[in-house]
Amino acid sequence: MKWNRAKNNVLIIILFIIIFILLTNRISNKFFGNVQEETKANILKIHSPLNERIIQPIIKEFQESTGINVEYTSAGTLDLLNALENKSDKYLMDIMWGGSEEYLNAYSYLFEPINPTNNSQEYILGYNKLPIVLIYNTKLVSTEEVPKTWNEILEPKWKGKLAIADPMASGSAYIALSFLLEMDNVSEDYNWLNAKKLIKNINGKILAKSSEVYEGVANGDFSIGISMEEAAINYINQGKDMGIVYLKEGTPVIKDSIALMKDAKNKDEAKAFIKFVLNKKVQSYMVDRFYLRSVREDVGVPIELRSIDKINIFDASLLTTYENKDAILTKWKFLLEVWEKEEE
Amino acid sequence: MENVRVPVFYRIFITYILCSIIPILIIAGLIHGVSRNLFSNNVKEQTINNLEIFHSRIHERMNAYENIISKIKNDSRVSEMLVETDEYNHNDYINNMNVIMYQALIEEKIKPVINIIDVEAKHGYSTLLQPKIYFAGAKNNWGIFRDINMGTEQCAIYLQEIDYGSYGKTIMSLGSKIYDKNGKHIAYVIIDIPREVIYNETRDIYSGLSMQMVMVDSYGYTLLDTINKNMEGKFQQATYIDPEKIKEHKSIKKMIEEDSFMFFEYKDLRLGTITKINVLSNFFSTYKLIVSLILIIGSGFSLIISGLLALIQARSISEPINELICVMDKVKQGDLSIRADVRSRDEIGDLAIYFNQMLKKLNIYMEENIEKQKQLRITEIKMLQAQIKPHFIYNTLDVIKWSVKLGQQEKAISVVTNLAKLLRLSIDSSEEFVTIQNNMDFINGYLAIQKIKYDNSFIISMDIQKEIMECKIPRLILQPFIENSIVHGFGKTKKDDGKITINGKFVESDENIEFRIIDNGVGMTEEEIKALNFEYPENHIGIYNVNKRIKMYFGENYGVKINSSKGNGTEVIILMPCI
């Protein structure tokens, strides 16, 4: 018994010591841990696949002129679409800003009409237009040599010299692939021969991000590439050796869009943002600074860009590939694997 | 658990060690806590102080830049040149404008960038290449231009990063309107402040501590980050899905989560900036190292020292106890002469001393007890000796009575004389042991009485070695046998040729004496002999007495042996040592 009691006493003493040490540490931590918790209220949440180069100044200006705090998530189009696909009831964001209209249409059930007052059922508003063009490194390819048509791109002489982003990750690459699949199509299915030719020419080298295409062409890793007009113009203006070709068969145009989420927590702020990015000031600033083509008719085309009338615009809404996206991407993946085996 | 036996040694040992380690742990904990407290208060105070100095220096710089701006906007040449935008003279204008701008910057060590742009964003002048952002901005009332247009005559401070390529980055801008003679707003003048200017001022904040300083605007736009330079120009609150980008995006929040000793914010209302300081805990690690070194070395040392002390002390306590236990065990086995060898001068030493004293006392008691026993035995012997006397005296007095009655005066006198002699011999000497000579005198006296009593019906033949005469033997050893021979051997048979032979001699190398008393009386059966030896016979009390006395005195090896058979006489052999 006596030993037992002694043991208890020892345990109590040890406990005291531990508590004491913990307390001294805890108290000292309390003194310094004056990290201020930021208030989470009324922070507008925006998801955007746009280039951060564009996102940042617009959000900066929005915040400064309206006083609304913004938190944005920047990611690839398809990553964000995946997030939408899997979000179920979870609140993710207030606004989906960017991504082509065709993509967003598939998720229109998640969006809320932006202008319910004027009876419009418009869930998605165009925000800017991005023509898909061929870019080339002017030091590697002369203006005469460079392909002028989609068919020329698929010629074997460009094997290993062509850069394209992964259609599974990049919206611009997917629309380009879609265009090729429907070009000269005679069968009921898609023109998979073009896809095979494309795979041959890119030598199986799929670039993860669309930015790698124009970077790769600019630094000479690739001679030609399929990219967005805006990115190419930006590079040209930076003095890089880059040229643009608007392809003859047609130029698919991505209509970057903006949509308000049905489950938005900050609807007023979200609407203010949508109004902000669509107003003339921001639209013309985008034209002046980023060479983007505005959806507004009262905003002109950037001086350096070819007028939209002079481009053979391909109406992307004619494409059926967005409805069959999963099947097409599965087959694309399969073709890539087949090609890899053949190469071995 | 209750049955676990924990030896005293281990208990003392462990207690000692705990007693030496625990204070060190407590003290180290206290030192750690308290000094950390003091230390960090100090750091905090100093850093905030430095931050204030840092910001006031930036304000000074701002004042200087505002002076430059007002110099330019008040220069009439500038507005003149801006109004008369004659295409032909444009190059001259540029040169003149450059001269004005460079002169304004002449006192600046690190040259900021001056930009002048007209309200229509058609003509711009700059000490470097005018950034495109200013054309797009001025045209669309964007950014700094919005601030300038909204503000009064004061300079607008706008927080933005502008990349001037090889020149570096500017992270703050000051802007103001330029008016013409008529007070019409015709242009903007903007000074872009290089990152270097601000960064140089941060150096004083570093008081030898490793810390991260992040300067953001009120919307989380990063102007300056002393550790993650690539965060500059980005929003702190941006998030990503691409793991690579998540890794690249090192917001101050993330950095604090990773490692922070102290964090505080400083808001500057004039600049509209929030400066966040995260003091990394690694400076504290040196301190921690010292404390833990003290802890480890200190507790190591004290562990060794206290371990040794504990060992010695525990041994000094447990060993005497073990010794005592050992001694007690031996005492239990019967060894009373052993003593505990404990010399420690404490309670345990006392315990041993008392234990030894107790043993000593016990010994004395034991000895006293033995002595008492001895005394008791002697008393018993005395009692046995005394038994002879009344028996004999009664018989003798009877003889005297009859002699007197019969008128045999001489006989009576002889008996009385001999009785007196006998009584004197037995009373005179109180000694237990007497010489054989003495014994023989006694026997002769006794025989003289008996001869008278029995009318000389027997004869005595005595053969005692001269050498043994001086040996001492117990009193009244031989007499009972002689008496027995006379009374029982032939006293009752009316035999008149009775003969008693008494032999005495040394046997076995002069140490022992043997007496033989032989008679030719009736003898005894074996049963009678046995009865004599082992029982307490009523009639032969004297013989039993003798045997018992001899064995009591000298041990079981000595004693009386009787050889006899019915009708053939009796031989009594008495063996005892010579003293």
Do the chains contact at A3 and B260, CB–CB below 8 Å?
A: no
Do the chains contact at A32 and B240, CB–CB below 8 Å?
A: no
Residue A233 has pLDDT above 60, yes or no: yes
In a domain, B484, yes or no: yes
Residues of B in contact with A31 (CB under 8 A): 37, 40-41
pLDDT tens column, B226-283: 888 899 999 999 999 888 889 889 999 888 888 888 888 899 998 999 999 888 877 6
Token pair, residue A160, equals 């290993």
CA distance A284 to A288: 6
Q: How many CB atoms lie within 10 A of CB B354?
A: 11
Among B6, B235, B251, most A C-beta atoms within 10 A, so best to mutate, is: B235
AA letter at B61: R
CA distance B243 to B249: 10
Which residue's entry shows tokens 């009664």? B394
Q: DSSP letters along A127-179, please?
A: EEEEEEEEEEETTTS-TTTS--SHHHHTSGGGTTTEE-B-TTT-HHHHHHHHH
Q: What would you report as the CA-atom Rg of chain B, rounded to the nearest whole angstrom?
A: 68
Largest CA distance in chain B: 206
In this structure, what are the phi and psi dihedrals at residue B155, rounded to the nearest 5 degrees?
A: -75, 140
A211 touches chain B (CB under 8 A): no
Q: Which DSSP letter does residue A203 get?
A: T
Give the residue on B whose Cα is nearest the Cα of A27.
Answer: B33
CA distance A118 to A289: 32
In a domain, B528, yes or no: yes
3-class SS of residue A3? helix
Residues of A in contact with B139 (CB under 8 A): 284-285, 288
In this structure, what are the phi and psi dihedrals at residue B419, rounded to the nearest 5 degrees?
A: -65, -40
Give the residue on B whose Cα is nearest the Cα of A169.
Answer: B242
List strand residue ranges (DSSP E) for B97-207, in order.
113-118, 124-126, 156-163, 169-179, 185-194
CA distance A296 to A126: 9
CA distance A226 to A244: 10
SS (H, E, C) B268-286: ECCCCEEEEEEECCHHHHH
Cα distance from B136 to chain A (closest Cα, Å)?
5
Do the chains contact at B238 and A76, CB–CB below 8 Å?
A: no
Confidence at A57, pLDDT banded by 50, 70, 90: very high
CA distance A126 to A254: 10
End-to-end CA distance of chain A: 81
pLDDT value at residue B544:
74
Among A17, A33, A64, the residue with its CB nearest the CB of B26 is A17
pLDDT value at residue A32:
44
CA distance B338 to B359: 8
SS (H, E, C) B298-321: HHHHHHHHHHHHHHHHHHHHHHHH
pLDDT tens column, B368-415: 888 888 877 776 666 666 555 676 778 788 888 888 888 888 888 888
In a domain, B457, yes or no: yes
Do the chains contact at B241 and A57, CB–CB below 8 Å?
A: no
Which residue has better confidence, B288 or B369? B369
Per the CB < 8 A criterion, the answer to whether B426 and B475 are in contact is yes
Among B44, B134, B140, B212, most A C-beta atoms within 10 A, so best to mutate, is: B140
pLDDT value at residue B1:
46
Give the residue on B whose Cα is nearest the Cα of A69.
Answer: B219
pLDDT value at residue B539:
55
Give the residue on A whose Cα is nearest the Cα of B121.
Answer: A288
Range with the largest mean pLDDT of A112-116, A261-265, B31-35, B493-497: A261-265
Query: At B415, which CATH number?
Result: 3.30.565.10
B561's enclosing H/E stretch is strand B559-564
Residue A52 has pLDDT above 80, yes or no: yes
Residue A226 has pLDDT above 90, yes or no: yes
pLDDT value at residue A116:
58
Q: Lowest mean pLDDT of A250-254, A290-294, A317-321, B84-88, name the range.
A: B84-88
Among A25, A65, A75, the residue with its CB nearest the CB of B33 is A25
Cα distance from B380 to chain A (closest Cα, Å)?
57
**Mean pLDDT computed over A118-143:** 80
pLDDT value at residue B538:
53
Which residue's entry shows tokens 């083509």? A293
**Mean pLDDT computed over A18-40:** 54
CA distance B215 to A236: 33
Which residue's entry shows tokens 């935008």? B85
pLDDT value at residue A35:
43
In a domain, B445, yes or no: yes
pLDDT value at residue B258:
86
Confidence at A73, pLDDT banded by 50, 70, 90: very high
A122's enclosing H/E stretch is none
Which residue has better confidence, B86 or A324? A324
In a domain, B476, yes or no: yes
Mean pLDDT, chain B, rounded, equals: 83
Which residue has better confidence, B152 or A230? A230
pLDDT tens column, B59-81: 999 999 999 999 898 888 888 88
CA distance B190 to B155: 9
Among A27, A73, A284, the residue with its CB nearest the CB of B240 is A73
Q: How many CB atoms lie within 10 A of CB A122?
A: 14
CA distance B127 to B102: 7
**Mean pLDDT computed over B154-165:** 89
**Mean pLDDT computed over B526-536:** 68
Which residue has better confidence, A2 or B392? B392
Residue B207 has pLDDT above 50, yes or no: yes
Q: Which DSSP letter does residue A263 get?
A: T
Cα–Cα distances in Å, from A95 out to A41, A82, B234, B571? 16, 15, 20, 145
Reduced to 3 DSSP states, what percent helix, strand and coil does chain B have, rounded to the nearest 5?
A: 55, 20, 25
Residue B289 has pLDDT above 90, yes or no: no
Largest CA distance in chain A: 103
pLDDT value at residue A61:
94
Do the chains contact at B263 and A21, CB–CB below 8 Å?
A: no
Range with the largest mean pLDDT of B56-70, B359-373, B541-555: B56-70
Label residues B562-579 b or e (16+ Cβ within 10 Å = b): bebeeeebbbbbbbbbbe
**Mean pLDDT computed over A264-293:** 89
In a domain, B14, yes or no: no
CA distance A96 to A73: 10
Give burial (CB, 10 Å; 0-12/13-18/19+) of B78: buried
Pairing of strands A43-48, A69-74: parallel
List strand residue ranges (DSSP E) for B269-420, in order.
273-279
Query: Range of B554's domain?
Result: 370-577
CA distance B300 to B370: 62
Sign of CA dihedral A199, A203, A205, A211: negative
Label residues A294-332 b or e (16+ Cβ within 10 Å = b): bbbeebebbeebeeeeebeebebeebebbebbeebbebb
Residues of B in contact with A281 (CB under 8 A): 140-142
Number of structural domains in chain B: 1
Mean pLDDT, chain A, rounded, equals: 83
Residues in chain A: 344
B233 touches chain A (CB under 8 A): yes
pLDDT value at residue A34:
44
In a domain, B66, yes or no: no
How open is the CA angle A234-A240-A245, to the nearest 5 degrees? Answer: 70
Residues of B in contact with A289 (CB under 8 A): 132-133, 136
pLDDT value at residue B193:
94
Token pair, residue B231, equals 């965060």
Q: Provide the percentage of residues in chain B whose pLDDT is more than 70.
A: 92
Q: How many CB atoms lie within 10 A of CB B272?
A: 16
Which residue has better confidence, B564 or A276? A276
Residue A38 has pLDDT above 50, yes or no: no
Q: Which domains does chain A have, with CATH numbers?
A: 43-128+255-306 (3.40.190.10), 130-253+313-343 (3.40.190.10)
The answer to ipTM > 0.90 is: no
List strand residue ranges (DSSP E) for B165-238, in order.
169-179, 185-194, 211-217, 222-225
Token pair, residue B577, equals 């040592």
Residues in chain B: 579
pLDDT tens column, B179-197: 888 888 889 999 999 999 9
Q: Which DSSP letter does residue A187 get?
A: S
Q: Lowest mean pLDDT of B94-98, B342-346, B434-438, name the range.
A: B342-346
Question: Among B124, B99, B114, B138, which residue's Cα sits nearest to residue B66?
Answer: B114
Cα distance from B267 to chain A (closest Cα, Å)?
13
Pairing of strands A69-74, A111-112: unpaired
A285 touches chain B (CB under 8 A): yes
B433 touches chain A (CB under 8 A): no
Cβ contacts of B95-102, under 8 Å, gap ≥ 24 = B97/B125, B98/B125, B98/B127, B100/B72, B100/B75, B101/B72, B101/B125, B101/B127, B102/B127
Token pair, residue B114, equals 């001056």
In a domain, B543, yes or no: yes
Residue B28 has pLDDT above 80, yes or no: no
Do the chains contact at A74 and B140, CB–CB below 8 Å?
A: no
pLDDT value at residue B161:
92
Q: Which of residues 237-266 of B touch A (CB under 8 A)?
A: 237-242, 245, 256, 260-265
Which residue has better confidence, B350 or B344? B350
**Mean pLDDT computed over B494-520:** 82
Residue A118 has pLDDT above 60, yes or no: no
Residue A290 has pLDDT above 90, yes or no: no
Do the chains contact at A73 and B44, CB–CB below 8 Å?
A: no
Question: Among B552, B571, B43, which residue's Cα sits nearest to residue B281?
Answer: B43
